[in-house]
């Protein structure tokens, strides 16, 4: 079984690629690369094919995450069927996903911060128009949530094992 997760923000250049990179790193570090597929997308097609924001890349690199290979894309209708879990970064992203998602796949839509273990925030705030501290806050939230998400995914994989 492969379990697949899609991280979604607005433009797919700050928050969702950060989550993609952090969770992908965790998946590899825990020997789950063959069992877990990770990707990211945006609700808007603002930056198709672009690398993550340089500030996101720099902040992630300081903590050992390489986001340089990731490229922005917009979510597409097949994503709702092909991913097991689709995680929005904020309420607006979640609302747009809920509007676009077929009823049969609505149960896959959640917010990433639901998986936080230490920090408490309903959303991962958009750092794009702010300063460096916003990118640090995003990474703090993403790291915390991805730790909880890893536990959740391990449970899903165990439950599905024969």
Q: Which residues are catalytic?
A: 9, 15, 126
Task: Output the pTM of the full model.
Answer: 0.97
pLDDT in tens, 89-133: 999 999 999 999 999 999 999 999 999 999 999 999 999 998 899
**pLDDT for the residue numbered 37:** 98
Structural domains of the chain sorted by starting position, each given as residue range(s) with its CATH number in brackets = 3-160 (3.40.50.2300)
Residue 1 has pLDDT above 80, yes or no: no
Provide the strand spans (E) within the chain. Answer: 3-9, 36-42, 85-88, 109-111
């Amino acid at each position: 079984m492969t379990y697949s997760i899609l991280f979604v923000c607005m433009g797919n250049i700050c928050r969702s690629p950060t989550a993609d990179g952090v969770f992908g790193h965790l998946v590899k570090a825990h020997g789950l690369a063959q069992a877990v597929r990770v990707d990211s997308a945006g609700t808007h097609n603002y930056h198709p094919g672009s690398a993550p924001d340089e500030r996101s890349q720099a902040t992630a690199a300081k903590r050992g995450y390489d986001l340089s290979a990731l490229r922005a894309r917009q979510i597409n209708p097949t994503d709702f069927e092909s991913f097991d879990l689709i995680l929005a970064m904020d309420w607006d992203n979640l609302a747009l996903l809920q509007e676009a998602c077929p009823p049969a796949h609505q149960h896959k839509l959640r917010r990433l911060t639901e998986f936080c273990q230490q920090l408490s925030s309903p959303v991962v705030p958009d750092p794009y128009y702010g300063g460096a501290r916003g990118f640090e806050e995003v990474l703090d939230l993403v790291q915390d949530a991805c730790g909880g998400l890893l536990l959740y995914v391990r449970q899903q994989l165990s439950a599905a094992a024969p």
